Amino acid sequence: MNRLLALLLVSVIYGCSEKKVVLNPLEAALTSDHPKIKRVMDSVEQYEVQIRFTQIDRSTGKPLFKNYDFQVNENKYFYPASTVKFPIAVLALEKLNNIDSIDLNSRYFVEGDSVESNFAKDISQIFAVSDNLANNRLVEFMGMDHINHQLDKKGIEPVRISHRLGYHSDDPSTKPLIVFENDSTTYLMEGTINTTAEPLDLSGIKKGKGYFEEGELINESFDFSLKNYYPITAQHEVLKRVVFPEAYAKTERFELSPQQHEYLLETMHTVPRKAGYDEATYYDGYCKFFIYGDTKERIPDHIKIYNKVGFAYGTLTDCAYIEDEKNDVEFLLTATILVNKDGVFNDNQYEYDEIGIPFLAELGRQIYGLELERKK
């Protein structure tokens, strides 16, 4: 039996002769006999699972939070993939809030790129279908130094955003933006030169036994040391500041107008079909791993999932606030899992659909079920 699971069970068995031991909700979910949970927990070391679950109590009239963790470790690296798009989108809104000449609907394009967009569209695409190009345009708008500085200023750390998504570039410079003031007038927003990333020194920063580069297998561990770093603790803090800003001092909050905050929350829970995407390809659970990730069924209207997922290099992560308005259920859940059985990266041989997404979906269902039964 897996050592960590055994420790959980021993803690339950020990003292049973004296009194009944009650598992905390996260322990209860992870010791479930459901095969989608059990097959991961039986070999949990290989999957590099980290989870933070936050229970919310409103009995005093304001939300109180209680965290439950499983293997959460800021020094144990996992690749955050598209989860970094969440703080990038939020900080883009914040920057817009501090520039009088542009707003959410301002049209623009990156110098040298023929694609014209606007900020509202980019943020919608980031949450609905996790669009890389939309994210990268916002990176050009702000620059990595601005992103990292603003997160640090709000006490959200450790974090390091060092590159765009969809491709990795060592170029720290961002490109200028051409912004439309009206239909015929444009102006130039200059690019920035950002700090060159230093290699991260973290446990697990080199993974696996090999990787493909330009079609050739390299028989060495894959080095993530220059990539983005956004651990579970930081992800959870960004989410809490967005959903529950009143729980933080003003200096720790994102500086969003009421209209921006409302737009952000609405966009975060909107499923792809409601954002104009083809449901056959972009089903409700496409970017909602918890509870619905392993089904193509529609999410009921009374359940809203405010989240951001990431999936790349065999790593799946979801960071979500889940609210069931009908049954008075709400909780925060962030989890990551690595599914790369052959230990080779960039070979597109990952067990996303077979193991990773089913685990996260069932984890969400287990926690939801326990919260549904909990006396408020």
- pLDDT confidence of 375, banded at 50, 70, 90? confident
Q: Residue 21: what pLDDT?
A: 64
Q: Residue 211: what pLDDT?
A: 98
> For residues 63 and 247, is the Cβ–Cβ distance under 8 A?
yes
User: How many CB atoms within 10 Å of residue 111?
Assistant: 13
- pLDDT confidence of 16, banded at 50, 70, 90? very low
- pLDDT confidence of 256, banded at 50, 70, 90? very high
Q: Residue 61: what pLDDT?
A: 84
Q: Residue 23: what pLDDT?
A: 84
Q: Residue 74: what pLDDT?
A: 98
Share of the chain above pLDDT 90, in %: 88
**3-state SS, residue 207:** strand
> Residue 15 pLDDT more than 50?
no
> Residue 12 pLDDT more than 80?
no
Residue 44 has which token pair?
């949990």
Per-residue pLDDT tens over the stretch 200-255: 999 999 999 999 999 999 999 999 999 999 999 999 999 999 999 999 999 999 99
> CA 252 → CA 99, 154, 232, 236, 321, distances in Å?
20, 4, 18, 14, 19
Is the pTM higher than 0.85? The answer reads yes
Q: Residue 97: what pLDDT?
A: 93
Residue 162, phi then psi, degrees to nearest 5: -125, -10
How many angstroms from the chain centroid is the CA of residue 82?
Answer: 7
Q: Residue 183: what pLDDT?
A: 79
Per-residue pLDDT tens over the stretch 132-159: 999 999 999 999 999 999 999 999 999 9
What's the angle, vertex CA 361, arms to CA 355 and CA 362, rounded to 5?
85
Cα separation, 157 vs 142, whole angstroms: 19
Q: Residue 318: what pLDDT?
A: 98
Alpha helices by DSSP H, listed for the chain, are 3-13, 25-30, 35-41, 44-47, 85-97, 119-129, 132-142, 144-153, 232-243, 258-269, 357-373
Per-residue pLDDT tens over the stretch 35-85: 999 999 999 999 999 999 999 999 888 899 999 999 999 999 999 999 999
- pLDDT confidence of 181, banded at 50, 70, 90? confident
Q: Is 181 or 82 the better-scoring residue by pLDDT?
A: 82
* pLDDT (mean) for 310-321: 98
Q: Residue 5: what pLDDT?
A: 52
- pLDDT confidence of 285, banded at 50, 70, 90? very high
Share of the chain above pLDDT 70, in %: 93
Q: Residue 133 belongs to a domain with what CATH number?
A: 3.40.710.10
**3-state SS, residue 356:** helix
> CA 300 → CA 22, 175, 325, distances in Å?
31, 42, 11
Tell me how many domains the chain contains: 1
Q: Residue 343: what pLDDT?
A: 98
Task: Enumerate residues 6+ apart whose C-beta is below 8 A from 36.
Answer: 294, 358, 359, 361, 362
Per-residue pLDDT tens over the stretch 105-114: 999 999 999 8
Q: Is 275 or 59 the better-scoring residue by pLDDT?
A: 275
Per-residue pLDDT tens over the stretch 342-364: 999 999 999 999 999 999 999 99
Domain limits for position 90: 3-373
- pLDDT confidence of 192, banded at 50, 70, 90? very high
Least confident of 1-5, 98-102, 194-198: 1-5
Residue 373, phi then psi, degrees to nearest 5: -85, -20
Residue 244 has which token pair?
């529950």
Least confident of 14-18, 159-163, 165-169, 176-180: 14-18
